[in-house]
Amino acid sequence: MVSQETAELIKWDQEHIMHPAWKIGQELMGVVFEKGHGVFIQDIDGKEYLDAGSQLVSNNLGHGRMEIIDAAIEQARKLQFATVFAGWTHKTIIKCAQKLAEVTPPGLDHFMFVSGGSESVELSVQLARVYWQIRGKKNCKIISLYNAYHGASIGSATLTGLSPEFWENIGPMAQDIIHIPNYYCYRCPFGLEYPTCSIQCAHFLEQTIKSEGAESVAAFLAEPIQGSGGCISPPPEYWPMVRKICTENNVLLIGDEVMSGFARSGKLFALQHWNVVPDIMAMAKGITGCYFPFGAVAVNDKVWEGLQGYRAHGFTWSGNPIGAAAAIAAIDIYVKEKVADNVAKVGQHLEERFEVEFAPLPCVGTLKGMGLLRSIEIVKDKATKALFHPSLNMLEKIKAKALDNGLFLRVGANRNIWISPPCIITIEEMDKLLDTLYSILANIGPNSIEV
């Protein structure tokens, strides 16, 4: 039973506020959050929830990190806003770029700053196209993957390869975007099995570049680990093959590290698992621990030199000093506290418990992803990998049951339950998360959750 305050706030919200990824007019979840600390978030009625989804897989450093908060406040007292347009600059954005250059993959030390993930992807694509046009070439096609998520603006939504609902009613979409099958060994789009597949998902990229004409392709854009599509990690050969294909065909490689970046995978950036360095890299979310809307695009020397003389577009909030100060503080925490190492350790513990306890459950298909960018695929039939019928709303039932038991879950695509808590989570806190989730999944019947 919710309090009167909660009921009144939700009623007003439902009548006046549009929510992303939620149908207008649809009844809300019935919770109003107010506070957070560590890996926990609390509603206005005082109930606490373990944040198993880091909200949108974004609060990498958890809630209430005073180092970031104090840095933002101190900056706000000195300089709240200063433009970086038209040749102007300010000290904090320079210090932020210098700090970022210390941790980004080698060579990616030229930056432009934005306010979030969609902007960073849009800018990455713009820079790739401009790079070729300045050189007098017509390369403009961008290849991306099915099942990918790259943002919500017209351009980034077109690049997104998830279900058609991301494109419905907002067309016409951006032009010269090509989607190709993703890497997903559990449900291989080519109907093959790893490793006898010869990594057809990578070879298909090369075939597509050749069939389209390499001289027409500006870049290949992909997430190192597909995030919103279900935390899908590729076979180990995939990214080195893709890097080689792009280099040999003179196609730029754009790495979308918006979700996978900043320790989430067990490395500071996910492409480091395969020793791959993209030509352009998009960042946001964890760059400030999600304490401030902020993001960045990094380019290598080749792209930087190719862009000389270009008068870049921008956004009013590009290089915001408060966001830059928050990013400096967050990066310091990632490095000093070895957050990526903690992710690797807790992620390994998660894998071990999954194999012993979760994998045998009738409703569990597979554990996907790396580090703490993870999801469990829920199935109705393990043998056929058939999903529960959408009319059963099984994932929403699991989410609601988890909420009752003090666990904030992110679910989606009628199949995925994210296990992507803040990267600072301890093994003891992960055990609490897994114990709660196991008690729910162990009671899923063929058509319902048995209470």
10 within domain boundaries: no
4 within domain boundaries: no
Averaged pLDDT, 83-105:
97
Q: Tell whether 435 and 326 lie within a shared domain.
A: no
CA dihedral 229, 205, 196, 273 (to 10 degrees): -60
Q: What is the pLDDT of residue 450?
A: 65
Please name the amino acid found at residue 35.
K
381 within domain boundaries: yes
Residues 132-155 have pLDDT tens digits of 999 888 889 999 999 999 998 888
User: Rounded to the nearest 10 degrees, what angle do helices 339-353 and 427-441 cross at?
Assistant: 30
Q: What is the pLDDT of residue 167?
A: 72
Nearest alpha-carbon partner for 202 in 251, 235, 228: 235
Distance (Å, whole) CA 324 – CA 93: 6
Confidence of residue 56 (pLDDT cuts 50, 70, 90): very high
Is pLDDT at 327 greater than 70 in this prediction?
yes
Q: Tell whether 362 and 430 lie within a shared domain.
A: yes
Q: Tell whether 318 and 422 lie within a shared domain.
A: no
Q: Tell whether 77 and 202 lie within a shared domain.
A: yes
Q: Identify the weakest region by mean pLDDT among 135-149, 293-307, 353-367.
A: 135-149
13 within domain boundaries: no
Peptide bond into 195 cis (omega under 30): yes
Number of domains in the chain: 2
Structure tokens at 439: 């008690």
Place of tokens 């990455």: 124
Q: Tell whether 236 and 365 lie within a shared domain.
A: no
- Residue 308, classed as helix, strand or coil, is coil
Q: Tell whether 270 and 296 lie within a shared domain.
A: yes
How many CB atoms are closer than 10 A to CB 245?
20
Q: Which of 288, 312, 336 is the last residue of a domain?
A: 336
7 within domain boundaries: no
- The CATH number of the domain holding residue 181 is 3.40.640.10
Element spanning 221, H or E: strand 217-222
448 within domain boundaries: no
- The CATH number of the domain holding residue 427 is 3.90.1150.10
Q: Tell whether 324 and 349 lie within a shared domain.
A: no
Q: Tell whether 70 and 45 lie within a shared domain.
A: no
Residues 99-124 have pLDDT tens digits of 999 999 999 999 999 999 999 999 99
Buried residues in 379-409 as b, exposed as e (16+ CB within 10 A) = bbeeeeeebbeeebebbebbbbbbbeeebbb
Q: Tell whether 126 and 216 lie within a shared domain.
A: yes
Q: Tell whether 346 and 332 lie within a shared domain.
A: no
Structure tokens at 172: 């016409």
Is pLDDT at 369 greater than 90 in this prediction?
yes
Mean pLDDT of the chain: 95
Distance (Å, whole) CA 60 – CA 181: 29
Q: Which of 336, 359, 375 is the last residue of a domain?
A: 336
222 within domain boundaries: yes
* Beta carbons of 225 and 189 less than 8 angstroms apart: no
Q: Tell whether 111 and 88 lie within a shared domain.
A: yes
8 within domain boundaries: no
Is pLDDT at 183 greater than 50 in this prediction?
yes
Residues 405-439 have pLDDT tens digits of 999 999 988 899 999 999 999 999 999 999 999 99
How many CB atoms are closer than 10 A to CB 411?
21
Is pLDDT at 171 greater than 80 in this prediction?
no
Q: What share of the chain in percent tops pLDDT 90? A: 88
Domain span at 147: 66-336
Q: Which of 306, 336, 366 is the last residue of a domain?
A: 336
322, HSE (Cβ side, Cα atoms, 13 Å): 17
Is pLDDT at 451 greater than 60 in this prediction?
no
0.75 exceeded by pTM: yes
Q: Tell whether 296 and 405 lie within a shared domain.
A: no
